[in-house]
Structure 1
Amino acid sequence: MRILMTGAAGGVGTLLRPRLAREGRVLRLLDVAPVEPGPGEEAVTADITDQDAMAKAMDGVDAVVHLGGHSVERPWAEILDVNINGTYVVLESARRAGVPHVVLASSNHAVGFHPRTDEAGDYLFPRPDTFYGVSKVTKEALGSLYHDRYGMAVTCLRIGSCFERPRDPRMLATWLSPDDCARLVEAAVAADGYHVVWGVSANTRRWWSLEEGRAIGYEPRDDAEVFARDLIARHGEPDLSAPPHTLVGGSFCGPELDVDNLTRER
Structure 2
Amino acid sequence: MSAERILITGAAGLIGSFLRPRLARPGRTLRLLDIADMGEAGAGEEHLRASVTDLAALERACEGVDAVVHLGGLASEAPWNDIADVNINGTYNIYEAARRTGVGRVVFASSNHAAGFHPSDEAPAPDYLFPAPDTYYGVSKVTGEALGSLYHSRYGLDVIAIRILTCNERPPDLRSLATWLSPGDAARLFEAGLSAPSPGFRVVWGVSANTRGWFSLDEARAIGYEPQDDAEPYAAELTERFGTLDPESPDARWLGGRFCGPDFGV
Could you tell me the TM-score, scaled by structure 2's length?
0.96
The answer (yes or no) to whether the contact 1:101–1:190 under 8 Å persists in 2 is: no
Could you say which residue in structure 2 is the equivalent of 1:125?
Answer: 130
Could you say which residue in structure 2 is the equivalent of 1:254?
Answer: 261
Could you say which residue in structure 2 is the equivalent of 1:20?
Answer: 23
Could you say which residue in structure 1 is the equivalent of 2:84?
Answer: 80
**For this pair of structures, how many residues does the alignment match?**
259
The answer (yes or no) to whether the contact 1:174–1:200 under 8 Å persists in 2 is: yes
Candidates 170, 184, 188, aligned match of 1:183: 188
The answer (yes or no) to whether the contact 1:203–1:224 under 8 Å persists in 2 is: yes
The answer (yes or no) to whether the contact 1:155–1:188 under 8 Å persists in 2 is: yes
Shift of 1:52: 1.2
Q: 1:244 and 1:178 mapped to 2: Cα distance?
A: 22
Shift of 1:256: 2.2
Could you say which residue in structure 1 is the equivalent of 2:106?
Answer: 102
Q: How does 1:51-66 map to 2 (within 5 A)?
A: 51-66=55-70
Q: Does 1:224 align with 2:227?
A: no
Could you say which residue in structure 1 is the equivalent of 2:203?
Answer: 196
Q: How does 1:118-157 map to 2 (within 5 A)?
A: 118-157=123-162
Shift of 1:241: 4.6
Candidates 112, 119, 123, aligned match of 1:115: 119
Query: AA paired with 1:194?
Result: F
Query: AA paired with 2:33?
Result: L
The answer (yes or no) to whether the contact 1:16–1:182 under 8 Å persists in 2 is: yes
Could you say which residue in structure 1 is the equivalent of 2:172?
Answer: 167
- Greater CA drift, 29-38 or 162-171: 29-38
Could you say which residue in structure 2 is the equivalent of 1:234?
Answer: 241
SS in 2 for 1:123: coil
SS in 2 for 1:255: coil
Q: 2:69 and 2:116 mapped to 1: Cα distance?
A: 23
Q: Does 1:213 align with 2:220?
A: yes
Percent sequence identity is 62
Q: 1:41 and 1:255 mapped to 2: Cα distance?
A: 43
Query: AA paired with 1:248?
Result: L
Give the aligned CA root-mean-square deviation in angstroms: 0.9
Q: 2:67 and 2:53 mapped to 1: Cα distance?
A: 19
**What are structure 1's unaligned runs of at least 5 residues?**
none
Q: Does 1:158 align with 2:169?
A: no
CA deviation map 1:141-173 (0-9, x unaligned): 000000000001000000000000010000010
Query: AA paired with 2:98?
Result: A
Q: 2:58 and 2:263 mapped to 1: Cα distance?
A: 35
Q: 1:206 and 1:241 mapped to 2: Cα distance?
A: 18
Could you tell me the TM-score, scaled by structure 1's length?
0.96
Query: AA paired with 2:16?
Result: G
The answer (yes or no) to whether the contact 1:103–1:188 under 8 Å persists in 2 is: yes
SS in 1 for 2:52: coil
CA deviation map 1:78-112 (0-9, x unaligned): 00000000000010000011000110000000000
**What are structure 2's unaligned runs of at least 5 residues?**
none
The answer (yes or no) to whether the contact 1:157–1:198 under 8 Å persists in 2 is: yes
CA deviation map 1:24-47 (0-9, x unaligned): 101000001122211111100000
Q: Does 1:46 align with 2:50?
A: yes
Shift of 1:209: 0.4
The answer (yes or no) to whether the contact 2:152–2:200 under 8 Å persists in 1 is: yes
Shift of 1:14: 0.4
Shift of 1:239: 3.4
Shift of 1:237: 2.4
